[in-house]
Structures are given as C-alpha cells and as structure tokens.
Amino acid sequence: MHTLTADPNTVVLAGDLLDWATLKTNQIGTLIKLVVGVMVLAAVAMAYWRTKSWVATLVAFLLGALVMWGIANLPSLQTKVGSEIEDTASASVQVPGTGDVRALL
C-alpha cells in the first residue's frame, strides 16, 4: 500500500494500477483493430479506383478480411504456432549424406 504525498487520505493499491494498465492495453488493442479496419477499407477502395475491376476489389477485400481475422485472433494463433514448432522439433528426419549414398552404391 502506498500513500500519495499530495493527499494523505488517498490510498493507491497495486491492483488499481494493474486494472488501469489492463484497461489501457485493451484500448490500444481496440485502436489498432480500428486503424487496420480503416486501412483495409482504404485498400479495397483504392483497388477498385485503380483497376475498376470487381475481381481485384474482391481479392483486396478477402485479403483485408484475412489480415483483420489474423489480428483479431493473434493470441490463439501464437499458441498454435508455438505448439506446432515444439511438436515437430521432436520428430527429426534423417537425410543421408554423400558418404551414406556412396556406401549404398
């Protein structure tokens, strides 16, 4: 427990600071998702404006949606990638070297 020097009747707990940090982290994450969404909309509009093609616009929209999905699901993707790397590292494949090939011939 820490008492502020400006007001001796106010007590700031560590939990309050952690709640504030969590709130700010969530707000920054929301801001990043909003900025990426605006950038995706701008990219889709620019793809249509430059090409006047619905196919290029659809491809830009799908790629933008894929990027937004990846950003929204980043925590689950991080755990999946980490588990796949750890699982494949235990099962290594033996590749014969040049000496092994000559011995087989």
Query: In this predicted model, what pLDDT tens digit does every residue of 50-94 receive, in sequence order?
Result: 999 999 999 999 999 999 999 988 888 778 776 666 655 555 666
Residue 42 token pair = 């701008």
What pLDDT does residue 87 have? 58
Q: How many CB atoms lie within 10 A of CB 72?
A: 13
Contact (Cβ atoms closer than 8 angstroms) between residue 72 and residue 33: yes
The radius of gyration computed from the CA coordinates of the chain, to the nearest angstrom, equals: 26
What sign results for the dihedral spanned by CA atoms 29, 35, 41, 43? negative
Residue 15 has pLDDT above 90, yes or no: no
Query: Lowest-pLDDT range, 9-18, 40-49, 57-66?
Result: 9-18
Entry pTM: 0.60
Q: What is the arithmetic mean of pLDDT over 39-45?
A: 96
Portion of the chain with pLDDT greater than 70, in percent: 66
What pLDDT does residue 86 have? 65
